[in-house]
């Protein structure tokens, strides 16, 4: 419910009406609406991480690994409305920061791991640290709620487009025509 309407767009009363669980029971497990939101965020991040791990196990080809990771992430983002991200950033900045740290940590870990020692697939003239740092900066620039809302995009579309640009920019010339799982 919160992933569709936004965090500021739901109340604990809405949650009780939708789930049939009493407020008393909800507050037995959560001290506040903020704790509920944090729990939803934790579950979302766990789902994304699980999708990433499954995507990495599907193939040994590093380009396919990246494409599988992007597909896994975009599948998780399909349920997230841009307003949810905006609410998180505006009303719960400490939780937004937690999400940012999750993104940063995963991108650095996954992409540096894939890029290092795979010169055959990637442009070996580009330092993997520069690639990862540029990717993170790009994600922060276009993967933020304000940009997504101002440009009438979805988080899924934004990620897919960004990674299409990314893959074509770092792939060795003979692999550039590889499909990137997008439109």
pLDDT in tens, 60-103: 888 888 888 888 888 888 888 888 888 999 999 999 999 999 99
| pLDDT score of 102 | 95
In three-state form (DSSP H/G/I as H, E/B as E, the rest C), the secondary structure along the chain is CHHHHCCCCCCHHHHHHHHCCCHHHHHHHCCCHHHHHHHHHHHHHHHHHHHHHHHHHCCCCHHHHHHHHHHHHHHHHCCCCHHHHHHHHHHCHHHHHHHHHHHHHHHHHHHHHHHCCCCCCECCCCCHHHHHHHHHHHHHHHCCHHHHHHCCCCHHHHHHHHHHHHHHHHECHHHCCCCCCCC
- Cβ(99)–Cβ(88) below 8 Å: yes
| pLDDT score of 177 | 55
- Core vs surface per residue 41-69: b (16+ CB within 10 A) or e: beebbeebeebbeebbeeeeebbebbbbb
| pLDDT score of 38 | 95
pLDDT band at 5 (very low <50, low <70, confident <90, very high): low
Instruction: Flag whether pLDDT at 176 surpasses 60.
Output: no
Q: Using CA atoms, how far apart are residues 176 and 157, in angstroms rounded to an integer?
A: 21
Instruction: Flag whether pLDDT at 119 surpasses 80.
Output: no
Rounded average pLDDT over 152-157: 90
| pLDDT score of 29 | 93
Q: How many CA atoms lie within 13 A of 49 on its CB side?
A: 13
End-to-end CA distance of the chain: 28
Rounded average pLDDT over 106-120: 84
Question: How high does pLDDT run on average in the chain?
Answer: 85
Domain range annotation of the chain: 36-175
pLDDT band at 1 (very low <50, low <70, confident <90, very high): low
| pLDDT score of 112 | 86
pLDDT band at 54 (very low <50, low <70, confident <90, very high): very high
| pLDDT score of 3 | 58
Question: Which class is 36-175 in CATH?
Answer: mainly alpha
- Cβ(131)–Cβ(111) below 8 Å: yes
| pLDDT score of 77 | 82
pLDDT band at 30 (very low <50, low <70, confident <90, very high): very high
Token representation of residue 63: 């380009």
């Amino acid at each position: 419910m919160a992933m569709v309407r936004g965090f500021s767009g739901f109340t604990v009363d809405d949650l009780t009406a939708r789930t049939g669980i009493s407020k008393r029971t909800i507050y037995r497990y959560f001290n506040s609406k903020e704790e509920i939101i944090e729990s939803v965020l934790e579950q979302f991040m766990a789902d994304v991480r699980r999708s990433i791990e499954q995507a990495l196990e599907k193939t040994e080809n590093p380009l396919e690994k990246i494409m599988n990771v992007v597909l896994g992430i975009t599948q998780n983002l399909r349920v997230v409305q841009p307003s949810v991200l905006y609410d998180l950033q505006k009303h719960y900045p400490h939780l937004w920061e937690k999400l940012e740290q999750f993104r940063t940590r995963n991108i650095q870990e996954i992409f540096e791991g894939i890029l290092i020692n795979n010169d055959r697939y990637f442009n070996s003239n580009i330092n993997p640290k520069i690639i990862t740092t540029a990717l993170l900066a790009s994600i922060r620039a276009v993967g933020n709620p304000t940009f997504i809302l101002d440009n009438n995009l979805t988080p899924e579309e934004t990620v897919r487009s960004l990674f299409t640009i990314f893959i074509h920019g770092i792939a060795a010339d003979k692999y550039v025509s590889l499909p990137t799982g997008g439109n």
